[in-house]
Each structure stands twice: as C-alpha cells, then as structure tokens.
Amino acid sequence: MRDIGDVVIVGGGAAGCAVAYYLGQAGVKATLIEREGIGMQASGYSAGGVNSLHGLAASMRPLAMASFTLHLALWDELQQSTGRDCQGRIISTVKVAFSEADVPALQEELDIFAATPGFSAHWLDRAALRTLEPRLTPDVMQGVYLYGNGVVDSHLFTVSLAEAAQRYGATIRIGTVRGLQQSHGRVTGVQLDDGMLACDTVVLAMGPWAQEAEAWLGLAIPVRPLKGEILRMELQGPGLAYDFASPDVLLFSRGRQVWCGATEEWCGFDKAPSATARRALLSRAIQLLPAMVNATLVQHTACLRPVTPDWLPIIGQAPGWDNVYLATGGEKKGILLSPGIGKAIADLLTTGSTPLDITPCTPQRFATVSA
C-alpha cells in the first residue's frame, strides 16, 4: 500500500462516508468533516433506490453494476459491524402504461432486465395488474413486472457507513471548511472556522456544494443542485406489496407508508418543501392509485442532488494536484453509486489505480487549471 499520510474527507453524505469506510478497510484512518451532520442532505432524504439498469448512460453501466454488487455485500457487512439494519433488500417494481405511447419505454426496460443475470421481467395485462393491486386505477392499459432492483433506507445506510468507518479508526468532525492551505502545488491543510487541520491528502465529496472548491483549487467543478421532493404518505388499509410507477410518478412501498416521488427542479440552493410540488405529486399519485386521495401526509421532504452537465459523476484525482481527489455528481443515482465512488477513491489513494471503470467520470473532462 502507498504511504498516503493523513486523509481529510470533506462531506458526510453517502459518497464521503463510503470513501472513509473503504479507506478504513485498507488500513487508512481518515478524518471526515461534515458541517450539518452525517446524512443530513440528499443522502438522508433519498428514496434509497438501488437501480443499476435504468436512468444511466450506457457508459456508466459497468460502474453501476459493480456498485450494485458492492451494495449486496455491504448490507450484511454494515449490520455485522454496527448492529444497524439499513433495510437493504431486493424488490419488485411494477411500471404501468396508460396508452400505447407509454409502451416502448416499458419494452426497453423489460428487454434490459430480462437480459441481465439476476434480474427478470414480464408483461402484465390489465387484469393481472388489478390482481396484484386492486386499488390501481382502471385506466391502466398494461404494465411490466421488474425484479432485481435494490432499496435501502438511505439515511441509515449513510450513518452505518460512517459508524463502520469509525470502527476502522476514522474520525468524524463537525465543522465548516472555508478553504485549503497550499504549498508548492499541494494541499497541506483544511481551513475550518476554528483553525487549520493539517493533511497529506484531501477528498472533496461536497455534493452540490462542490463548486465552492473551484476558487480553492483554480479548477472548474461544474456541479449544480437539482431539487427533489418526496411525500411520505400513510395509506389506509394494507400497504403496497410492490413499488408502482407511471410515466409521471413513483410510489415506493415503505410498509404502511407510500412515498410519492420525486420532483426535479432547478432552483439553486432552495431546500424548502413547496406547496406546488406537494399538489403535483399528490395529483399524480391519485391518478395512479385513487386510494391515495384519503392517505395522510406524514412528512414532506426536499433535498438537493449534485448534477454535472453530462449527468455523470466526477471521480478521481483533481487535475494539477497530486493530493486532491474529487468524489461528487452522483445525481439521482447517488445512493446506488456511493459504494463504487468510495471504493474507487480508496483504491486510487492506496494503490494508485482501481479495477472499477471510472473512465467516463474523469475530472479532466471539466476541470481546467486556471491562470
């Protein structure tokens, strides 16, 4: 293993905590800095979907599948280490079509699931759909049954990564990073409100706030916040046996609760839940499952996902710096990708390379050293 000295990780979301965890496995005790608490941003308010077959560019599928495999191992590892159950499990999702225009997208997903080992899919006609869930609207035309995705409680997952990292010797420190101390092209310390924390290596896992580091490093780190809102509803009668989705809404099965999500809105760093989003999500949910009209709102959450211009993460060594690494941009797939991001960064720090395919995620595609 390379001698990398003291490592500071900036950011206590799933990506930063995964870096700390995998560094700990490799024998490196990192210090993780978080200003609001572990998993208090998007990683704590995600629906927790671990879907490696949909919503990703083709170039990302190798990393997505590798990260999915890491998830399957992590769920047991984290419970054994911390005693916490992050509620990781394999699930089935039923996606419906209201018209012929919706069918091609479902056919594409069915083909992908059916062709992937460990996953499966088949068509459902209207009668079969109503048998699975009699409360579905009679307006559904047909649907597909998709098996093999995963789900976790994203907050418990993130907290469990942090606690397991601590058991390997990591330190968690609450504070706000104001800048980086530099000497001869290297970062030598992280400036906090209460002083300077010396380090030999720094990992920036700052989520949608990654652009704050542009001025520190003289690099372009084009990450923007994409706001997403979810309604946590309690449904009268039995809970949903499966996740259900239409082209407009996802209904996530959470015991007696049904989570309705999620919106996508570019509105800067506004994290306030909005009445507009609440009305839109509830309307879409009722269209799919009319019984939602009588459901009780338990909690309305909003969070900011980090998104790059090409919707791919930024993973790797910062151009022009030999001891700075970037780990951000997981967008709506942040929970899925966090183990892959964490393992890749830990590999790079400890061995200089990683078997994970992070080629599409190179920081060099954006980051130009400034004058």
Residue 114: strand, helix, or coil = helix
Q: Which two tokens stand for residue 7?
A: 């490592």
1 occurs within a structural domain: no
From 281, 307, 333, the end of a domain falls on 307
Q: Which two tokens stand for residue 216?
A: 């520190």
Contact call for residues 323 and 200 (beta carbons, < 8 A): yes
Tens place of pLDDT per residue across the chain (371 aa): 566 669 999 999 999 999 999 999 999 999 999 999 999 999 999 999 999 998 999 999 999 999 999 999 999 999 999 999 999 999 999 999 999 999 999 999 999 999 999 999 999 999 999 999 999 999 999 999 999 999 999 999 999 999 999 999 999 999 999 999 999 889 999 999 999 999 999 999 999 999 999 999 999 999 999 999 999 999 999 999 999 999 999 999 998 899 999 999 999 999 999 999 999 999 999 999 999 999 999 999 999 999 999 999 999 999 999 999 999 999 999 999 999 999 999 999 999 999 999 999 999 999 554 43
State whether 198 and 171 are in the same domain.
Answer: yes
Provide the domain count of the chain: 2
Residues in the chain: 371
From 307, 326, 347, the end of a domain falls on 307
Q: What pLDDT does 370 receive?
A: 44
State whether 231 and 296 are in the same domain.
Answer: yes
State whether 120 and 242 are in the same domain.
Answer: yes
For Cα atoms 215, 221, 227, give the angle at the middle one, nearest 5 degrees.
110
295 occurs within a structural domain: yes
For Cα atoms 98, 102, 105, give the angle at the middle one, nearest 5 degrees.
145
Q: By C-alpha distance, which of 15, 9, 2 is closest to 315?
A: 15
State whether 177 and 289 are in the same domain.
Answer: no
Q: By C-alpha distance, which of 176, 14, 9, 177 is closest to 86?
A: 14
State whether 126 and 238 are in the same domain.
Answer: yes
Q: What pLDDT does 63 receive?
A: 98
Q: Which two tokens stand for residue 123?
A: 């068509």
State whether 19 and 72 are in the same domain.
Answer: yes
22 occurs within a structural domain: yes
371 occurs within a structural domain: no
State whether 172 and 79 are in the same domain.
Answer: yes
- Give the orientation angle of helix 154-167 with respect to helix 14-25, to 10 degrees: 30
DSSP assignment of 187-248, as one string? EEEEEETTEEEE-SEEEE--GGGGGGGHHHHT-----EEEEEEEEEEE-SSS--SSEEE-SS
Torsion of CA 2, 219, 170, 60, to 10 degrees: -80
State whether 259 and 341 are in the same domain.
Answer: no
State whether 248 and 126 are in the same domain.
Answer: yes
> How many secondary structure helices (H) and strands (E) does the chain include?
9, 18
Q: What pLDDT does 185 receive?
A: 83
Cα 32 to chain centroid, rounded: 18
370 occurs within a structural domain: no
State whether 186 and 160 are in the same domain.
Answer: yes
DSSP assignment of 62-93, as one string? HHHHHHHHHHHHHHHHHHHHHS-----EEEEE
Q: What pLDDT does 348 receive?
A: 98
193 occurs within a structural domain: yes
Domain extent at residue 354: 7-83+154-221+310-365
From 283, 307, 331, the end of a domain falls on 307
State whether 180 and 293 are in the same domain.
Answer: no
State whether 137 and 175 are in the same domain.
Answer: no
CA–CA gap between residue 222 and residue 307 (Å, rounded): 8
Contact call for residues 68 and 52 (beta carbons, < 8 A): yes
Cβ-based neighbours of 206, under 8 Å, separated by 6 or more: 10, 11, 212, 213, 328
DSSP assignment of 41-62, as one string? SHHHHS--EE-SSSSS-GGGHH
**CATH number of the domain residue 111 falls in:** 3.30.9.10
73 occurs within a structural domain: yes
Q: What pLDDT does 1 receive?
A: 57
Q: By C-alpha distance, which of 295, 136, 294, 137 is closest to 231?
A: 295
